[in-house]
Structure formats: C-alpha cells, structure tokens
Chain A
Amino acid sequence: MKRFKTIRNLLVIAGGLVVTGYLRMPVEQRFTEDLRERKIVQPRIESDAWSEMGQTSLAGTFGGLRTVMASMLSLNAQSHFEENEWYDLKKDYEVITALDPYNAFYWSHGGWHIGYNAASWARSNREFSPARRRIMEMDFLEAGDEFYRKGLKYLPEEESLWFEIGSMWSNEYKRPNFERAAEAFEKARDSGNPVYRRRYLFTIARIPGREIEAYEEVIRLLTENPRHLAVPTFRCLLIVLPTNPKISDIEIKPTIDGVFRTREKAYQDLFNYRQRVLEEGFYAGNIDGILLNLIGELGVPDELNPFLNPSSHRIHTEHWRESDDQPKAQVPDWMLKKKEEGAR
C-alpha cells in the first residue's frame, strides 16, 4: 500500500509538472527571447569554451555565476600576462568572453593582450630565430584581429573594437597593414567620437592610390563639423590633398589663410606634416612647393628650412599650440560661399 502511494504520488507530481510545464513553456520562451533580443540574457556558451573551462569555472557557471567567474578569471589572466604566458592568457580570455560576452571591456582587453602585448613579446624575444619571431608575431596579430571581430559579433555597435583593430594594423611598431586598418577604421567613420571619425581619413591618406578617396573624406568631415580643424594633420591634409593632379573636379579648394590662423602656424604644421610624409608615408602632394612658397614669403631662417637643414625633429612651440590649436570660432569664408551656392 505504501509503495502504491509513493508511485501514485510520484506520478501525480510528474503529471502536474508536465501539464503546468506545457502551459508555462511558451511564456518562458517568449520572455527569454525578448530578454535575449535586448541583450539581457547572455548567449549560450560555445562548445569550444566548455572544453577550455576549468572545474571552478564550470561549477560557477552551473551555479549561475557566469559574470562573477568572468571577473575572477580576468584576475587570473592578469597573472598570466605578468608571467608572459600568452597561450594561457589567450585561453583565459576565450573562457572569460564566453562567460560574459556582452562586456566590451573583456573583448577590448583580451584583444589588446593578444594583438599588442603577445605580438610585441614575440617580436622582441631573442630566444627565437628572426623567422620564428616574425611568424609568431603575425600569428598573435591575426589572433588579436580575430578576437576583436568575434567580440563585434556580440557587440556590433561597439565602435571602439573596430578602432582597436584599425589601431593595431596601423601601429608603426608592429606590422602595419594600412588596407586592413582602413577597412576597420571605415566601420567607425560615422562614430560620435571625432577621433574615431578622423582615423579613417588619416589611414587612407597613407595608402598610395587612395588619395582621391582621402580628399573626398576630408571634405566630408569638414563639411559636417569644422571642429576637425583643431587637429594639425587634418588642416594639412585639407591643403595638401587638393594638390593631387589626378583630382579633376575640385569643388572645394581650401586656402592657407582659410585653414590656418596665421602663416607662421601654417608653416609649423606643414613642416611637421612633411616629416610625417617622409617617415609615415602620408600623401605628399605638392607639400614641397607649398613649403618653399612659405619659406620665401615668411623669410624662414635656414635652421628651420628642411631643404637646407634636413632634420627628423618637429617644430614645436608650446605657445603657438596654446593660442592656435583652439577651434576656429567662425566657419571659413570659402565654406560659407559653398553653403550659399548649395542653398540657391
């Protein structure tokens, strides 16, 4: 009798749970999907990450402590960073981001460790042959790129990750690949952050054959916000890019007086820009001709004349910077003219 009762009770419990489960299941699924769409529910942990998790992480995940475990593992990753244990660190970040994929910090930080720190370690590690070092460095750069892009799958609106990819591929101290950098910066060119917006321009201005695109970009940026004029390289590109003989139809050709506050300031910026042309491959255009004109006009002393006294130094005058780097209060005349024509 007792056994019958037990079996009956278990059957009733199972039946009750199944019937009520059948009724609540669609409600829970709709609720979950709604939360998932709003990125409140974390996505499933991928099968690769399961296999890399330690027992503690697994236990934490089973107990519903995904984000806590992610925080703890990030501390563990820090110790791998300090010990130069890059492969362990990469695994750590794969698990961390599987546990807390909507935290941009982990994608950014993990990508930085892999693409920057591990790659630099490989490049400078004298224990390996130069060929091996190069292979390892490229492997880490590619792994960093892949890591950032994986983060973008979860956080497509996170422009900072595109910016990080672009910065990594345009870094002078790594293996610059401006085409790849430009591809990444292009994704952030409509960002609310003016630094992100300008980097696409500054990158394509260094790629031979993309000067016309760079000209169109500099004009686009200026038309939408004259505050970009506060940046010296932007001012110089505005003057140098239109000197490209391949540009047949120049609608807007800024003048030195329209862009720079004084001719002295123009000389300083253009002098420094010429150094970037020589060292970093920025578009040269007619920079030499423009500088020669200014040298004649301003009576520039020989020690500041790059044609007589070649130097890798920049001209820096803190006083100039303080007074002249402020954004122009007024929109330049030539822009107003363009606007009026457009209005007509």
Chain B
Amino acid sequence: MSRPVATSFFSPRRSLIIAQSTVTQLVRMKVFYFLAPIALLFLGLQFFDAFWYEGPEALMPEQELRMHKNLCLGTMMLFTSLFAIVSTALLIPGDIEDRTLYTILCKPVPRLDYLVGKLFGVIAVIFIAMVVMDVLLVATLHFRTEEKLIETTAYMTKIGYPEREIEAGRAEISAHGPTLLLQFGVISHFLKACVIAAVALLISTFSTSTLFTIATSVMIWIIGAFQSIARDGLFNDAEFGDVPTWADKIVGTLVSLIFPDFQLFEAISDGAARAEDVLPADMAQLAGLSVLYVGIYVVLSWFVFSDKEF
C-alpha cells in the first residue's frame, strides 16, 4: 500500500510558478499599454516647455527640477497604487470565472502558495513597470538638469561670479538631478504599491465582488495617508489646547491599529524629491515595515482563503 506523498507547507518553487503564470495573465490583459501615456507624459515634460515651466518655478532651476520630479514621482505613485489595487482585485475572481482556480487547487498546491504566487506576480509586474518609468524619469531629468547646468553656468560666468561660487551653484542644481537619493523615492513608491497589493489581496479573499474589493482598497489607501494623524493624537499632547474626547480616542486607536501608515512612504519619497537627507537606514526601516505589512496581510488572507469553498 503506497503512502500519499506529503505536500510541504509552503514551496517557494510552486509560488514562483504561480507568480510566472500571473505575470503572463496580466501581460495578456495588456496592462503595459498603460505605460504608453505615462511615457508620453514624461517625455512631453522634457521635450516640450509645458506651461508650468513658464510659471514662477522657472525662476529657480532647482525649483523647476523639483517640479519635474514631483510630477513624475506623483504619476508613478498613482499608477502603481491603482494598478496594485485593480490587478489584485481582478485576479482571484478572474481565476474563478475562467475556472483556472479549480484546476490549480485540485492539485496538491497549498492555498498559501497560490496566494503568495498571485501576490508576487502582481508585484513583479509593478516592478517591471516601475523600472520602465524610472528609466524614463532618470533620462528626462538628466537632460533637464544638464540644460539647467549649462544655462546657470553661462549666466553666472557672464555676471562675473567667482569660480568657487559657480561650482557651488552647479552642485546645488546637480543635487536635484538624477541621484541615488531620487531612487529612494522610487523605491518607497514601489514598497507602498506592494503593501497596497497585499491589502487588496486580503480583501479579495473574503469579498464577493471585484467592485467591493477595489472600492475598499481605495478607501484604505486614502485612510492610510491620514493614519499617522490619528496615531499622533495618541502619542502626543493635543495642539492648541483641544483635548480629544473619548470617542476621538477610540476612533484614533482603531484607525491606528487597523490601517497601514502610508504617510511614511510618501514622506520618504517627498524627502527624496526635495533632496533632503534620506538615509539608507531609513530605507531599510521602511523596507522592514513593508515586509511586516505584507506578511501580516498574507497570513490573514491565507487564514480566510484556507477553508473558502468555491
């Protein structure tokens, strides 16, 4: 009598295979076509003097570069966050609809592998999109920075600034160009998208409709941007003598405990765009928090999904 082959609790290999098939599935949905308007936007910002470069920011080269970075990073953040929500929300219902889910789950594939594979597939597509957008950002910012450096050097030389001050001016402009610090901003948006995808995965495990998953995930995304305000109220004294009521405290506590803090990701990205002193240690801490968030949401998704009947 042969003994049944034991299936391991979690297999990275199986998850990887599911992740690969998820990438294929998403690519077939033509998700990368969304990158075309983004590319056009980034290139348009560079090669056409859009109206905002005629505004007050144009008076200061650093300010103009900051605006370019803000617009590009903002677009990247919006695209990746929305993509994370929508694609994750569509995956499980999509698999049920085309019956792929049954063919996977009737094999010895633990449901954890399935969930992790799906999530990693989405994250992989976000990563590829992020790399493409990052290359565009760096290229356009590089050209604009070079243009500003040439203009500023010519201007400062013409009005007789000493060499030392010209160098200082150039260094200040270069700090707003494509630096490693800017990459911290891009990475923080990527990490945020990963967390949002994990949130959407958790919701999609118990949700009965795609619309509900998308709407709830968007709400969590929005609340997450303000979670830190609620948390601050618990840790710090009230400003301007406004003492919070018990109801305020209870709501604040619940919001702080349940929702993720997305302000941290935005702060790091903003700081990087402002060329502030964002340290590698900050990035490590942010990455650690992201792993923690993704871990929590995956475990909870697994719990709900483990005995879900289809």
Measuring CB to CB, which residues of chain A are less than 8 angstroms from any residue of chain B?
A: 5-6, 9-10, 12-14, 16-18, 20-22, 24-25, 27-29, 31-32, 35, 38-42, 44, 61-68, 71-72, 74-75, 77-78, 102-103, 105, 109
Q: Across the interface, do A44 and B78 meet the contact criterion of CB distance under 8 Å?
A: no
Question: Can you list 6 A-B pairs with a CB-CB distance of less than 8 A?
Answer: A9-B206, A17-B300, A25-B234, A35-B282, A63-B225, A67-B274
Q: Which residues of the other chain, B, contact A44 by a CB distance below 8 angstroms?
A: 229, 232
Minimum CB distance partner of A39 in chain B = B276
Instruction: Please judge, given known A-B contacts A13-B202, A16-B296, whether A66 and B264 are in contact too, CB under 8 Å.
Output: no
Partner pick for A17 among B67, B258, B265, CB 8 A cutoff: B258
List 12 extra interface pairs beyond A35-B268, A40-B267, A68-B73, CB under 8 A.
Answer: A35-B282, A40-B268, A40-B271, A40-B282, A41-B267, A61-B225, A62-B222, A67-B270, A68-B74, A71-B52, A74-B56, A109-B56
Closest residue of A by beta carbon distance from B58:
A78
Number of B residues with CB within 8 Å of any CB on chain A: 56
A21 touches B257 (CB 8 A): yes
State whether B77 touches A65 (Cβ < 8 A).
yes
Q: In the assembly, what is the distance between CA of A109 and CA of B55, in Å?
A: 12
Q: Which residues of A contact B229 (CB under 8 A)?
A: 44
List residues of chain B with CB within 8 A of the CB of A63. 78, 81, 221-222, 225
A118 vs B11: C-alpha distance in the bound complex, in angstroms?
68
* Partner of A105 from B63, B78, B268 at Cβ < 8 Å: B63
Contact A20 B78 (CB under 8 A): no
Q: Mark B235-274, 1 if CB is under 8 A from A, else 0.
A: 1000000000000000000001110011111111011011
Bound complex: CA A22 to CA B257 (Å): 6
* CB contact under 8 A between A12 and B267, given known A22-B257, A27-B289, A67-B273: no
Cα of A44 to Cα of B263 in the assembled complex, Å: 11
| B-chain residues with CB within 8 Å of residue A32 when the two chains form the complex | 228, 231-232, 261, 263-264, 267
B71 with A42: CB separation less than 8 A: no
A24 to B292: give the CA distance in the assembly, Å. Answer: 9
B278 at the A interface (CB under 8 A): yes
List A contacts of B273 (CB < 8 A): 67
> Which one of A6, A35, A61, A78 lies within 8 Å of B267 (CB-CB)?
A35
A103 touches B274 (CB 8 A): yes
Which residue on chain A has the smallest CB distance to residue B292? Answer: A24
From B234, B274, B300, A16 is in contact (CB under 8 Å) with B300
Closest to B72 in A: A68
